[in-house]
Structure 1
Amino acid sequence: MPETPPFSPTVTLLTVAAVWQESLAAALKPLGLTSRKYALLGHIRATPGISFSELARRSRITAPSAHVAVAAFRDAGLVEDATARAGAASQLQVTPTGERLLADAATRLAALDEEFAVRHPALAEGLRAHLADVMGSRDED
Structure 2
Amino acid sequence: MSTAPEMPSSTVMLMIAAGRQLQRELESDLSAIGLSLRQLGALGHIAGNPELSYSDLARRAGITTQSMRATILMLQEQGAVRSNLSGQGRRANLELTETGEQLLNEARRVIALRDRAFAERLGAEEEKVLSAVLRRAAPGPADTARRG
User: TM class, shorter-chain normalised?
Assistant: 0.7 to 0.9
Q: 1:113 to 1:85 in 2, by over 3 A?
A: same
**Percent sequence identity over aligned pairs:** 31
Q: 1:138 to 1:20 in 2, by over 3 A?
A: closer
Q: How does 1:24-103 map to 2 (within 5 A)?
A: 24-103=26-105
The 2-side partners of 1:77 and 1:59 are apart by 21
* Equivalence for 2:130: 127
TM-score scaled to structure 2, two decimals? Answer: 0.80
The 2-side partners of 1:30 and 1:129 are apart by 30
The 2-side partners of 1:34 and 1:89 are apart by 24
The 2-side partners of 1:5 and 1:119 are apart by 18
* Equivalence for 2:20: 18
The 2-side partners of 1:94 and 1:43 are apart by 10
Say which SS state the counterpart of residue 31 (structure 1) adopts: coil
**2:106 aligned to which of 88, 104, 107:** 104
Q: 1:116 to 1:89 in 2, by over 3 A?
A: same
Q: Give the Å deviation of 1:123.
A: 4.2
Across the two proteins, how many residue pairs are aligned to each other? 137
The 2-side partners of 1:114 and 1:5 are apart by 25
C-alpha deviations, 1:113-136, integer Å up to 9, x for none?
01111220354223221134347x
Q: Give the Å deviation of 1:28.
A: 0.7
Give structure 1 regions of 4+ aligned residues with deviation exceeding 6 angstroms.
none
In structure 1, runs of 5+ residues without a counterpart are none
Give me the CA root mean square deviation. 2.4
The 2-side partners of 1:8 and 1:93 are apart by 42
Say which SS state the counterpart of residue 35 (structure 2) adopts: coil
